[in-house]
Amino acid sequence: MSTVIESLERAQLRRVPRFQAGDRVRVHFQVVEGTRRRTQVFEGVVIKRQGHGVRETFTVRKQSFGVGVERTFPVHSPKIEKIEVAARGDVRRAKLYYLRDRVGKSARVRERRYIGPEEIVEPGLLHDPVAQLEAEAAASEGAVDAEGETAQDVVAVEAPETEAVEQEPTAEETPAVEAEAPAEPAPGDPDAEQA
């Protein structure tokens, strides 16, 4: 596959908790009804997980008023707000299609006893392109070559040593500088809270 396509798909991956077939999950997803949006929760047992990357999907099955209901979700869909793992199942199969034929208590999945501390996964993108660019910029600023010189030292040495005439900023350049700095910090901005 093309590296361009792979990089675009990698940017769309979201953080999701680890879960597998047999786990009981709660999927919070957005439903659009006319002009309104609301969050709906679908709780059930994961009966399969298939695919990989952006195209990965999982199917959740639940009993609703005595009728089995299955719903398939894309793992990395932007409509999914969050996935909660309610319980870990103790199964030996990757596809639990046999649950479709079972009724009542036999349709339940045995719960795994102790699985260790649960990791907490914040919803959001797996690879944040803005944070990744900032990290690369910080790494390139502090990068030191074999001779102990940073990239800025090399540029300063290689620049011609003629006297540069300082120019007054024109009227067109001044508003651009002011437009870059926000008047007030955005709410919830971690950089603004530190200052």
Per-residue pLDDT of the chain in tens (195 residues, 90 and over written 9): 588 888 888 888 888 888 999 999 999 999 999 999 999 999 999 999 999 888 899 999 998 888 889 999 999 998 999 999 988 888 898 999 988 888 888 888 888 876 666 666 666 666 666 666 676 777 666 655 555 665 555 555 555 555 555 555 555 555 544 555 555 666 665 655 554
Q: Is residue 67 part of a domain?
A: yes
In the numeric block, which tokens belong to residue 85?
Answer: 């793992």
**pLDDT score, position 32:** 92
Cβ neighbors of 46 (< 8 A, separation 6 or more) are 19, 20, 21, 22, 23, 24, 25, 58, 59, 60, 89, 96
Domain region containing 83: 17-107
φ, ψ of residue 12 in degrees (nearest 5): -95, -5
Q: Is residue 85 part of a domain?
A: yes
CB 31 within 8 A of CB 37: yes
Q: Please name the amino acid found at residue 13.
A: L
**pLDDT score, position 182:** 56
Q: Is residue 175 part of a domain?
A: no
**pTM over 0.85, yes/no:** no
Q: Please name the amino acid found at residue 74.
A: P
Domain count, the chain: 1
CB 73 within 8 A of CB 16: no
Which CATH number does the domain housing residue 58 bear? 2.30.30.790
Q: How far apart are CA 139 and CA 143, in angstroms?
A: 6
Cβ neighbors of 83 (< 8 A, separation 6 or more) are 16, 17, 19, 25, 26, 27, 28
Q: Is residue 185 part of a domain?
A: no
- Longest Cα–Cα distance in the chain: 86
Q: Is residue 10 part of a domain?
A: no
Q: Is residue 87 part of a domain?
A: yes
C-alpha triplet 13, 18, 24: angle, nearest 5°? 120
Q: How far apart are CA 97 and CA 18, in angstroms?
A: 21
